[in-house]
Amino acid sequence: MLHFASAAIISIMMLTVCPARAQENHTFQLPEGNMISQQLQLMGGAPVWKQYEREWRTMEGTDSIIYRETYLLGRYWRLNRYAMLSGKPRLMGWQKEFREDGLLEEQLLCEGSRRCNNSVRYYYYPGGQLMSLSEYEKNKRHGAHYMFYSDGQLRQYIIFEYDKMTDIMAYYDASGNPLDPGTLCDGDGYANVYSLNGLLIERKYFSRGRLVREEQIQ
Question: What percentage of the chain exceeds 70 in pLDDT?
Answer: 89
Starting at the edge strand found earlier in the chain, the sheet holding 200-207 runs: 189-194, 200-207, 210-216
What is the H or E stretch that residue 142 is in? strand 140-148
Residues 21 and 91 in one domain: yes
Q: What is the predicted pLDDT for the residue at 15?
A: 35
Separation of alpha carbons 178 and 111, rounded Å: 39
Domain co-membership, 93 together with 137:
no
Task: Evaluate whether 194 touches 182 at the Cβ level (below 8 Å).
Answer: no
Residues 138, 72 share a domain: no
Segment 70-79 mean pLDDT: 97
Q: Cα separation of 94 and 79, whole Å?
A: 9
Based on the structure, what is the number of domains in the chain?
Answer: 2
Q: Are 70 and 129 found together in one domain?
A: no
Do 136 and 203 share a domain, yes or no?
yes
What are the pLDDT digits (tens) for 193-204? 999 999 999 999
**Cβ–Cβ < 8 Å for 26, 52:** no
User: Which of the listed residues 111, 145, 172 is the one where a domain comes to its end?
Assistant: 111
Examine the domain organization and report whether 141 and 95 are in the same domain. no
Tens digit of each residue's pLDDT (9 = 90 or more) over 123-181: 999 999 999 999 999 999 999 999 999 999 999 999 999 999 999 999 999 999 999 99
Same domain, yes or no, for 121 and 106? Answer: no
State the DSSP H helix or E strand holding residue 20, giving kind and residue range, or none if neither.
helix 18-23
Q: Are 34 and 21 in contact (CB under 8 A)?
A: no
User: What's the whole-number mean pLDDT along residues 37-64?
Assistant: 94
| Among candidate residues 97, 40, 33, the one with its CA nearest the CA of residue 65 | 33
Q: Is 28 helix (H, G, I), strand (E, B) or coil?
A: coil
Q: Average per-residue pLDDT in the chain?
A: 89
pTM: 0.83
Residues 175 and 211 in one domain: yes
Summarize the confidence of residues 111-133 as an average pLDDT. 94
Please indicate whether residue 10 or residue 207 has the higher confidence score (pLDDT). 207
Domain range for 152 is 117-218
Cα–Cα nearest to 53, from 68, 41, 40: 68
Least confident of 10-19, 90-99, 132-141: 10-19
* Residue among 81, 65, 9, 59 at smallest CA distance from 39: 9
Q: Are 7 and 105 in a shared domain?
A: yes
Of 59, 78, 111, the residue that ends a domain is 111
φ, ψ (nearest 5 deg) of residue 64 = -90, 120
Asked whether residue 63 carries a pLDDT value surpassing 90, the answer given is yes
Domain boundary among 94, 111, 128: 111
**Residue 8 banded pLDDT, cuts 50, 70, 90:** very low
Q: Is the pLDDT of residue 61 over 80?
A: yes
